[in-house]
Amino acid sequence: MSDDVMTPEGGPPPGGGSNGWRKEYWRKNLRLMVALLIVWFAVSFGCGILFVEQLNQVVIAGFPLGFWFAQQGSIYTFIVLILVYAIRMDRLDREYGVHERDHDGGLT
Amino acid sequence: MSETQVWALVFVVLSFGVYIYIAWRSRVKETKGFFVAEQNVPAVANGAAVAADWMSAASFISMAGLIAFLGSDGSIYLMGWTGGYVLLALLLAPYLRKWGKFTVPEFVGDRFSETVRSVSAVVAIIVSFTYVVGQMAGGGIVFARFLEIPQAGGVAIAAAVIFTYAVFGGMKGITWTQVAQYTVLIVAYLIPAWAVAHTMTGIPIPQVSFGQILDELNALQAEFGLDQYTQAFTARPQIDVFLVTMALMIGTAGLPHVIIRFYTTKSVRGSRWSALWALVFIALLYTTAPAVGAFTKVNLLDGVQGQAVDALPQWVQNWQATGLVSVSETSETVNSVTNNADTFAAGEADLLVNNDILVLASPEIAGLPAPIVGLVAAGGLAAAMSTAAGLLLVISSSVSHDLYFRYVDHHASEARRLGVSRIAMGLAVLVAIYFGINPPAFVAQVVAFAFGLAASTFFPILVLGIFWKRANAAGAVSGMLAGLVFTASYMIYTLEVFGTSANEHVLGISPEGIGTIGAVVNLVVTIVVSLATRPPSEEVQEMVEQIRYPSEREETHA
């Protein structure tokens, strides 16, 4: 490992030298996680179950909207949620210098 | 032999040849290879392996038909069996991979106590066994229908191939055959679906084009006296749709054979990306299935509507021999269709159609050529075998790694451990063959509830174990048992299993949905008991702290 490893911003990892960074890293992880889970719940249980009948009043390309969320839209949303999580966590890990050095490139 | 049978045979033999070749290439010499494929599987490959591991004979053969008859409420399976991957990716996979050992019970053993580990191992074995029996039987049915080999023979052939790669290659052999099996099953599913979509709407993308036939389908349903297809909550009340969807989601995230697939990636980062790939690969089939269901339902209703019973389409005659389609003897024309054998037996419907036929016969119903029908046979087998192999690995590792070496043989050498694990795998395959051929009566009912059990036992204590340092062994044991007892009791109360009589559902909650409440019970009990007893040791808390960070922090040097 070379001595001049830098974070993307070029400075030392945030959070200072003691273990203060741990709390910060974890809090950011949790905040991202909760935000994504709120979307997860709103789209699948909200649009696909709780408000499905109201949404069914709107019809797009032959699909009643609630029906579309229940059978198609929620699944696409799940994919996007995991994609956002994987990208944001890669960035967070680098920012705090806890990324793994032997990479397994997700997209490569 | 008919032309279809010849093609089915060609595809089945070819695909089995590939699986055995892969098995030979991925023989293992160490337990790390046997249990976690040397933790060296690239994210994309692991994603495909998860998808094959996950999508069972039921996903491939039965799901589209189930949705066709449930209509809008088929969403419980579509959302339930995909939404769990969001929970896996965000709450479990990266942390369990960081902790990095061999089995799910082993994690709870380190995190809580050896008792929790033993209880988990036993639950993992029970859940996996009920599930594997269904796969074996499913494989046998494909053989019986497409190749006219007796079901017992079919089960034995499929199991012999699984035996070859699972015993020699362990997780490594299973992983790479699952990648091949995913390819076979998805091609076999998508080609007929594209063809049907193109024939019916001119647009070969089923996900987009099935919107165009929904009006027609609603109208047809009305003529048959059925509920509107796109109308929600016709099959189950809203509260039950909610609870079943949730139970399937958290059950998915708690199933050991799915979780251990994330132990095999190269890194924590790899586990996140492979969760993404897994869901992409699964979604290819899961977004196609509702379209296949809707298209085939239209074709089916349209083809038989008002027809005289002796003038029905050719496929009805072809599949009558298998017992999957039956025409009422007292009817002269077909004006009603059901998928419920009891309704049919009571003389309330003119035509009985089994759920499975919508996928198995969809190429035929749409008039596609024989090679495509043959391909569907190879796809169904790939789906059944890949899931069976993943389950057998969980059984083998729980028996050997979590129970045998801890209670019987403490100081086994590496070579001996590998040997015992192989024997455990071999025995598990034999037991699975036996029950695949002679499925116990209760299995068909119980398998649907494996999710409820996984949801109410594993998921809450895994999540609390990772995210709450204060959770302790006493809490986890009480929580797991409370969740298990609560869920199992309600299932037995509402179902006819083991000779009990079925009672009315309470508040419209079905036994499939009770796992959600069981999970809440588990969660609450674990929290309350943990708070009432001593916190876990410093070492355990430090372990929980460490799994939060993918690697050591890289300090910049002054």
ipTM rounded to 2 decimals:
0.89
Residue B463 inside a domain? The answer is: no
What is the mean predicted confidence (pLDDT) over B408-435?
A: 83
Residue B220 inside a domain? The answer is: yes
pLDDT at B525 over 90: yes
Same domain, B270 and B408: yes
**Ramachandran angles phi, psi of B32, nearest 5°:** -65, -35
Position A15 scores a pLDDT of 59
pLDDT at A107 over 50: no
A100 and B267 in contact by Cβ < 8 A? yes
CB proximity B273 to A under 8 Å: yes
Token code pair at residue B131: 């599930």
B164/B156 Cα distance (integer angstroms): 12
**What region, left, alpha or beta, does residue B202 occupy, with left being phi > 0 and alpha being psi -120 to 50 degrees?**
left
pLDDT at B399 over 80: yes
Residue B429 inside a domain? The answer is: yes
Position A14 scores a pLDDT of 67
- Give, in degrees to the nearest 5, the angle at Cα B5 between B2 and B8: 155
What is the mean predicted confidence (pLDDT) over B65-83?
A: 90
The chain-wide mean pLDDT, for chain A, equals: 82
* Residue A31 neighbours by CB under 8 Å, 6+ apart: none
Position B297 scores a pLDDT of 86
> Coil, helix or strand for B391?
helix
Position B527 scores a pLDDT of 96
Are B230 and B214 spatial neighbours (Cβ–Cβ below 8 Å)?
A: yes
Position B57 scores a pLDDT of 81
Position B502 scores a pLDDT of 67
Position B362 scores a pLDDT of 76
Which residues of chain B does A53 touch, with a Cβ-Cβ cutoff of 8 Å? 232
Q: Quick one: closest CA in B to A33, which residue?
A: B90
B294/B284 Cα distance (integer angstroms): 17
Least confident among A72-76, A100-104, B42-46: A100-104
B89/A33 Cα distance (integer angstroms): 10
Task: Output the domain CATH number for residue B420.
Answer: 1.20.1730.10
Same domain, B101 and B219: yes
Same domain, B227 and B82: yes
How many CB atoms neighbour CB B24 within 10 A?
A: 12
Taking the CA atoms of residue B268, residue B273, residue B275 and residue B277 in that order, the dihedral angle to the nearest 10 degrees is -150
* DSSP result, B227-259: PPTT-TTSSS-HHHHHHHHHHHHHHHHH-HHHH
Pairing of strands A59-60, A63-64: antiparallel
Same domain, B337 and B268: no
Last residue of a domain, one of B412, B438, B464: B438
Residue B62 inside a domain? The answer is: yes
Where is pLDDT greater, at A28 or B215?
A28
pLDDT at B500 over 80: no
A79 and B211 in contact by Cβ < 8 A? no
User: What angle, rounded to 10 degrees, do the helices at B75-87 and B63-70 form?
Assistant: 120
pLDDT digits (tens, 9 = 90+) for B403-419: 877 777 777 777 888 88
pLDDT at A11 over 80: no
- Nearest by CB to A86, from B78, B241, B272: name it: B272
pLDDT at A105 over 60: no
Which residues of chain B does A4 touch, with a Cβ-Cβ cutoff of 8 Å? 556
What is the mean predicted confidence (pLDDT) over B111-130?
A: 86
Q: At B520, is the pLDDT very low, low, confident or very high (cuts 50, 70, 90)?
A: very high
Position A6 scores a pLDDT of 44
- Nearest by CB to A72, from B207, B238, B268: name it: B207
pLDDT at A74 over 90: yes
CB proximity B84 to A under 8 Å: no
Same domain, B247 and B212: yes
What is the mean predicted confidence (pLDDT) over B210-225?
A: 84
Q: Quick one: closest CA in B to A103, which residue?
A: B267
Position B499 scores a pLDDT of 61
B214 and A62 in contact by Cβ < 8 A? yes
Pairing of strands A59-60, B351-353: unpaired
Q: At A108, is the pLDDT very low, low, confident or very high (cuts 50, 70, 90)?
A: very low
CB proximity B219 to A under 8 Å: no
Residue B511 inside a domain? The answer is: no
B109/B391 Cα distance (integer angstroms): 20
A70 and B212 in contact by Cβ < 8 A? no
pLDDT at B361 over 80: no
B272 and A100 in contact by Cβ < 8 A? no
Same domain, B323 and B195: no
pLDDT digits (tens, 9 = 90+) for B462-485: 999 999 999 999 999 999 999 999
Which residues of chain A does B91 touch, with a Cβ-Cβ cutoff of 8 Å? 33
B125/B131 Cα distance (integer angstroms): 10
pLDDT at B26 over 60: yes
- Give, in degrees to the nearest 5, the angle at Cα B144 between B439 and B189: 100
Q: Could you tell me how many CB contacts below 8 A there are between chain A and chain B?
A: 181
Provide the domain count of chain B.
2
Where is pLDDT greater, at B269 or B328?
B269
pLDDT at B302 over 50: yes
Same domain, B351 and B403: no
pLDDT at B79 over 90: yes
B212 and A62 in contact by Cβ < 8 A? yes
> Closest Cα to residue B386, out of B459, B287, B285, B482?
B285
Same domain, B333 and B225: no
Same domain, B397 and B346: no
**Ramachandran angles phi, psi of B353, nearest 5°:** -125, 125
B505/B350 Cα distance (integer angstroms): 30
Last residue of a domain, one of B381, B412, B438: B438
Distance (Å) from the C-alpha of residue A35 to the closest C-alpha of chain B?
11
Express as a percent the part of chain B with pLDDT over 70.
96
pLDDT at B539 over 80: yes
Q: At B555, is the pLDDT very low, low, confident or very high (cuts 50, 70, 90)?
A: low
A64 and B214 in contact by Cβ < 8 A? yes
- Nearest by CB to B78, from A62, A75, A107: name it: A75
**Ramachandran angles phi, psi of B323, nearest 5°:** 85, 5
The chain-wide mean pLDDT, for chain B, equals: 84
Using alpha carbons, list the distances in angstroms from residue B357 to B297, B424, B481: 11, 36, 40
Are B248 and B516 spatial neighbours (Cβ–Cβ below 8 Å)?
A: no
- Nearest by CB to A5, from B246, B266, B556: name it: B556
pLDDT digits (tens, 9 = 90+) for B229-252: 888 888 788 888 899 999 999 999
Q: Quick one: closest CA in A to B85, which residue?
A: A78
Residues within 8 A of A (CB atoms), B 177-206 only: none
Which residues of chain A does B100 touch, with a Cβ-Cβ cutoff of 8 Å? none
pLDDT at B363 over 50: yes
Least confident among A100-104, B92-96, B437-441: A100-104
Position A42 scores a pLDDT of 95
Last residue of a domain, one of B438, B471, B488: B438
- Nearest by CB to B554, from A5, A36, A72: name it: A5
Same domain, B276 and B323: no
Helix (H) or strand (E) holding B265: none
Q: At B115, is the pLDDT very low, low, confident or very high (cuts 50, 70, 90)?
A: confident
Q: Quick one: closest CA in B to A39, which residue?
A: B86
Domain encompassing residue B350: 309-355
A75 and B550 in contact by Cβ < 8 A? no
Least confident among B251-265, B277-291, B512-526: B251-265
Same domain, B409 and B286: yes
Least confident among A41-55, B68-82, B249-263, B294-308: B294-308
Same domain, B373 and B270: yes
Distance (Å) from the C-alpha of residue A12 to the closest C-alpha of chain B?
6
Where is pLDDT greater, at B500 or B337?
B337
Position B414 scores a pLDDT of 78
- Nearest by CB to A90, from B74, B214, B269: name it: B269
Which of B40, B63, B269 would you mutate first to test chain A, the one with the most A CBs within 10 A? B269
Q: At A2, is the pLDDT very low, low, confident or very high (cuts 50, 70, 90)?
A: very low
Position A69 scores a pLDDT of 93
CB proximity B534 to A under 8 Å: no
pLDDT digits (tens, 9 = 90+) for A27-50: 999 999 999 999 999 999 999 899
Token code pair at residue B308: 């005289």
